[in-house]
Structure 1
């Protein structure tokens, strides 16, 4: 099918990053140095964690680059995920104080990841999302069910 060809091409591009002489981003190092440093050093270690999880057992959570929920809402979302006992891979840009007692054995929290590759990973069973257009398209493409929390 056509979408499998597109996915294969996108994954080829991502895998070829280590061979590239130059990379172009929609950001700059000075604004997101942690993201750049974290992701330009070979295969990111979060894939090791994902590889160790059972198939379709992890909830991937990302509310995009411009989170617009209140701290009270975020506290409730975090409590809901933790109380569900589901494994999670949470992308939290900037303030992570809503994880008051840090990460636990059920999940990992990171400032950024290669979202399409993560969504296509066999351990991902769902996507908690803010319903941004790119996130929605990538989830549909990866065939991952959405747990939606529209914020815009």
Structure 2
């Protein structure tokens, strides 16, 4: 990629990150098991303004890793517009998930995991760190959140 535009301000990067969290349908979810075996899958998600909510089966590697490890890294698919979100994970069964979160997930995706199978769970990912950049010229200032607080 040839750099043709100036670096965005931190405020613009935060705005762009929040727009992607509101507008995108899929997000990459990276986890690892207790032995360090990595797992990477794309899942539908919804952003509630404070956390990312995803759903998958607790019987598959991603679900087990989210539940047992309690941490994840999320990313969007565009390598020319990188967004990385490191977060802490909480697991909710279908009956335990807050109705507002589940309803927002259904409204965005058209799918209700609570009606699909009891093995589906919801996972709330609270961001601890957020980075965003579009090329080498934006590596400086890419840290937008640290320790769960926006730095911009």
TM-score band, normalised by shorter chain: under 0.3
TM-score w.r.t. length of structure 1: 0.26
In terms of fraction of residues, the more helix-rich structure is 1
Give the structure with the larger strand fraction: 2
